[in-house]
């Protein structure tokens, strides 16, 4: 038992040491190589092994608030951290309709048993093309914390571009919502470079 | 009972060798009510940790505070607990997985996924009786003492907290799982308590059989879930429970009463079942549930929705059939029309899609996705 707990501790400590934080400055920023956003005020980008394909930003620090940005997710790609293989995986399909995109994100955010309630779904523009905007309310399973969230998603040339932000309902979400909406409005999908002909 | 508990017992029971009591053995008697242990003792520490978890659970938004359903389930647990009734405190927890647990301090959790799955009072009593059996025999205290680690109390208490056994809790659950003997005892005691409380003990085997239907429906069998991976499911369990029931005749099932009491929560629980994304398990469960006498349209809608979201070969056709069957029955959830509209839209049946969406908006004009659906109708009208 002690050996097992010791090993667990070592693994957890090892994981801690590989978490990196990088400041994201105001102005135009390219996410991956396919999505450009303009931000007002700096954010913190968190990177760690196994965090999944989304770029994770935070204003207040994880897990208080979290902005996930997806840039050019391919058909068949899993959209989340895959370290816990015992939980259901959620995969992007390029033929997904708007409601299916929302369901996919809902499934992702409730993998741990958290509750999720979509409070609004509406057509929107994201990345310069047709997309969907949705609002949601969550209660986290881990600490029973009520969160509010907003998401934008669009499929462009069979690739997924999306942005999801959630934060505690009281205080943090209202504080940063306008900033997030501005980022979503500024999003531009960068065309895939055409390979040069020889 | 948690799934681990329910499944583990199957591993330890040998077919044909499980009489309620061995020959010459005294009939089992419940112990006297437990006295709160001294706070300086190890058991006192465990109770204190459980009390803290219970305080969190009481305040948690996952605690389903239904003034009708909670006392009803509490009463079932009380009838099983007999003179221990005043010490049993039942909490209904909104989580769409098959699980119940009982902590050494008397805190009992019953998850919504379990309540959705059981067909009647007797099936619920089978699960709760098993948990009461562990409680009366103080199995969890025995397991924790065996761990001989001061840090174990916190981990152990966490298992009984609101987070329960999901995800990362699997490892911890494995450390403190009940032994096969414990499970065998809890099965025997549970069946006896069911019988004494006037429930049909034959329903216990059905709970197991129904759960196995879902396990076997999984694409990778039981291997994907750690609760099953370490303790492979055994078909013997169902037979063993049937054998136990054969010596405990009589009793009621009270299916109608159970279905009526849980009806106000049915659609919410079904929505949460669909959202789990465990399509194969859900289809197996919903196919079985759609034969129930009450709520048939709801179960058909939910199964249709699972087919629609899975969207495999032939799934959209199956979804349309289920949605149409739900509509034909009447009293269907508005989302059945939404599902039809979305499928018709994707298969370019514009007029049918428009009609379904319009019906959906008639039935649910204030739905969260009304702006999106109106936009679809506009597009389909062009």
Q: Range with the lowest mean pLDDT among A61-75, B108-122, B155-169, B365-379?
A: B155-169
**Intra-chain end-to-end CA distance of chain B, in Å:** 56
Please enumerate residues of A whose Cβ is less than 8 A from a Cβ of B: 1-2, 4-5, 8, 84-88, 90, 93, 97-100, 103, 106-107, 110-113, 115-123, 132, 139, 141-142, 144, 146
Could you tell me how far CA A183 lies from the centroid of its own chain? 13
Please give the average per-residue pLDDT across B24-48, as a whole number: 84
Q: Give the integer Cα–Cα distance in Å for B306 and B260.
A: 24
Q: B219 with B50: CB under 8 angstroms?
A: no
Residue A74 falls in which region: left (phi positive, over 0), alpha (psi -120 to 50) or beta: beta
Contact A118 B368 (CB under 8 A): yes
- Residue B195 Cα distances to A130, B64, B128, B285, angstroms: 62, 28, 13, 27
CA distance B77 to B100: 12
Cβ atoms of B301 and B326 closer than 8 Å: yes
Distances (CA, A) of B202 to A102, B123, B207, B211, B243: 43, 9, 10, 15, 9
Is B47 strand, coil or helix? helix
pLDDT of the residue at B167: 42
- Taking the C-alpha atoms of residue A177 and residue B334, their distance in angstroms, rounded to an integer, is 32
Contacts of A132 in chain B (CB under 8 A): 372
**Minimum distance, in Å, between the CA of residue B321 and any CA atom of chain A:** 20
Which of A86, A106, A115 is nearest residue B170 as measured by Cβ atoms? Answer: A86
Q: Give B31-37's long-range contacts (Cβ < 8 A, gap of 24+).
A: B31/B136, B32/B83, B33/B83, B33/B84, B33/B86, B33/B87, B34/B84, B34/B87, B34/B138
Whether B229 and B170 have beta carbons less than 8 Å apart is answered as no
List the single residue in B with minimal CA-CA distance to A117: B368
Q: Which residues contact B318 (CB under 8 A, 6 or more apart)?
A: B304, B307
Please tell me the CATH code under which domain A20-189 is placed: 3.40.1000.10
Residues 68-97 of B with CB under 8 A from A: 94-97
pLDDT at residue A124 in the model: 96
Q: What is the pLDDT of residue A193?
A: 63
Kindly report the three-state secondary structure assignment for every residue of B291-356.
Answer: CCCCCHHHHHHHHHHHHHHHCCCCHHHHHHHHHHHHHHHCCCCCHHHHHHHHHHHHCCCHHHHHHH
- Where do the structural domains in chain A lie, given as residue ranges? 20-189
Q: Please tell me the distance in Å from A60's CA to the nearest CA on chain B.
A: 24
Please indicate if any CB of chain A lies within 8 Å of the CB of B357. Answer: no
**Segment B198-242, tens digit of pLDDT:** 999 999 999 988 988 898 898 876 544 444 433 434 566 677 788
Which of A135-139, B71-75, B96-100 shows the lowest mean pLDDT across its residues? B96-100
Strands B89-93, B100-102: pairing is unpaired
The H or E element that residue B194 is part of is: helix B180-196
Q: Say if the Cβ atoms of A99 and B372 lie within 8 Å.
A: yes
pLDDT reading at B57 higher than 50: yes
Note the pLDDT of residue B164.
55
Range with the largest mean pLDDT of A36-40, A109-113, A149-153: A149-153
Residue A73 has pLDDT above 90, yes or no: yes
Lowest mean pLDDT among A54-58, A112-116, B204-208, B220-224: B220-224
Lowest model confidence (mean pLDDT) among A49-58, A161-170, B161-170: B161-170
Put simply, the answer to whether B225 touches A86 (Cβ < 8 Å) is yes
Those residues whose C-beta lies under 8 Å from the C-beta of residue A188, and which sit 6 or more positions away, are A35, A36, A37, A127, A128
Mean pLDDT of all residues belonging to chain A: 88
Please tell me the predicted confidence (pLDDT) of residue B159: 64
Distances B272 to A102, A115, A174, B165, B302 between C-alpha atoms, Å: 15, 8, 27, 17, 10
The whole-chain average pLDDT of chain B stands at 84
Q: Report the complex ipTM.
A: 0.82
The reply to whether B347 touches chain A by the CB within 8 Å rule is no
Domains of chain B: 3-246 (no CATH), 266-381 (1.25.40.10)
pLDDT value for B27? 77
In which band, very low, low, confident or very high, does the pLDDT at B14 lie, cut at 50, 70 and 90?
very low
The SS3 of residue A60 is: coil
CB-closest option in A98, A107, A123 to B277? A107
Q: Write the pLDDT tens digit of every residue in B105-152.
A: 999 999 999 999 999 999 999 999 999 999 999 888 877 777 656 566
Q: Say if B142 is an interface residue toward chain A (CB within 8 Å).
A: no
DSSP state for residue B251 in the 8-state scheme: -
Place of tokens 């044909």: B16
Residue B153 touches partner A, C-beta closer than 8 Å: no
């Amino acid at each position: 038992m002690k050996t097992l707990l010791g090993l667990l501790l070592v693994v957890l400590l090892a994981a801690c040491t590989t978490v990196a934080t990088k400041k994201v400055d105001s102005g135009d920023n390219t996410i991956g190589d396919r999505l450009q956003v303009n931000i007002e005020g700096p954010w913190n980008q968190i990177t760690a092994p196994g965090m999944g394909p989304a770029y994770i930003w935070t204003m207040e620090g994880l897990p208080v608030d979290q902005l996930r940005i997806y840039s050019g997710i391919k058909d068949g790609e899993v959209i989340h951290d895959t370290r816990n293989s015992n939980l259901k995986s959620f995969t992007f399909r390029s033929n997904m309709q708007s409601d299916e995109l929302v369901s996919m994100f809902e499934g992702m955010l409730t993998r741990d048993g958290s509750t999720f309630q979509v409070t609004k779904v509406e057509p929107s523009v994201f990345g310069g093309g047709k997309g969907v905007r949705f609002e949601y309310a969550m209660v986290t399973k881990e600490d029973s914390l009520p969160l509010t969230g907003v998401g934008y998603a669009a499929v462009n040339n069979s690739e997924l571009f999306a942005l999801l932000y959630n934060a505690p309902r009281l205080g943090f979400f209202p504080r940063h919502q306008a900033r997030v909406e501005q980022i979503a409005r500024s999003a531009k999908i960068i065309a895939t470079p055409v390979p040069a002909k020889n | 009972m948690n799934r681990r508990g329910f499944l583990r017992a199957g591993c330890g029971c040998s077919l044909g060798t499980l009489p309620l009591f061995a020959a010459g053995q005294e009939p089992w008697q419940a112990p006297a009510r437990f006295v709160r242990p001294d706070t300086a003792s190890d058991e006192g520490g465990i109770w204190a940790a459980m009390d803290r978890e219970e305080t969190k659970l009481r305040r948690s938004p996952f605690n389903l505070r239904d003034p009708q359903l909670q006392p009803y389930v509490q009463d079932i647990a009380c009838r099983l607990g007999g003179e221990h009734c005043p010490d049993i405190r039942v909490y209904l927890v909104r989580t769409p997985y098959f699980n119940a647990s009982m902590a050494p301090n008397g805190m009992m959790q019953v998850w919504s996924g379990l309540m959705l799955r059981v067909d009647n009072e007797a099936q619920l009593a089978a699960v709760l009786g098993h948990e009461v059996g562990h409680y009366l025999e103080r199995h969890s205290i025995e397991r924790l003492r065996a761990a001989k680690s001061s840090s174990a109390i916190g981990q152990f208490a966490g298992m009984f907290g609101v987070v329960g056994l999901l995800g990362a809790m699997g490892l911890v659950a494995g450390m403190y799982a009940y032994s096969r003997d414990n499970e065998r005892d809890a099965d025997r005691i549970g069946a006896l308590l069911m019988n004494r409380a006037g429930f049909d003990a034959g329903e216990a085997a059905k709970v197991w059989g129904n759960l196995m239907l879902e396990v076997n429906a999984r694409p990778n069998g039981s291997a994907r879930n750690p609760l099953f991976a370490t303790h492979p499911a055994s078909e013997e369990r169902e037979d063993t429970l049937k054998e136990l029931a054969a010596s405990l005749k009589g009793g009621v099932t009270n299916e109608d009463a159970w279905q009526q009491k849980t009806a106000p929560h049915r659609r919410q629980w079904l929505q949460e079942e669909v959202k789990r994304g465990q399509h194969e398990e859900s289809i197996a469960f919903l196919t079985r549930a759609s034969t129930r006498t009450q709520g048939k349209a709801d179960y058909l809608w939910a199964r249709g929705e699972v087919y629609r979201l899975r969207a495999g070969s032939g799934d959209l056709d199956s979804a349309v059939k289920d949605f149409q069957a739900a509509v034909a029955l009447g009293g269907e959830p508005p989302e059945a029309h939404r599902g039809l509209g979305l499928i018709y839209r994707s298969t370019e049946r514009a007029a049918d899609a428009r009609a379904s969406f319009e019906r959906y908006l008639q039935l649910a004009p204030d739905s969260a996705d009304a702006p999106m659906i109106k936009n679809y109708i506009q597009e389909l009208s062009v």
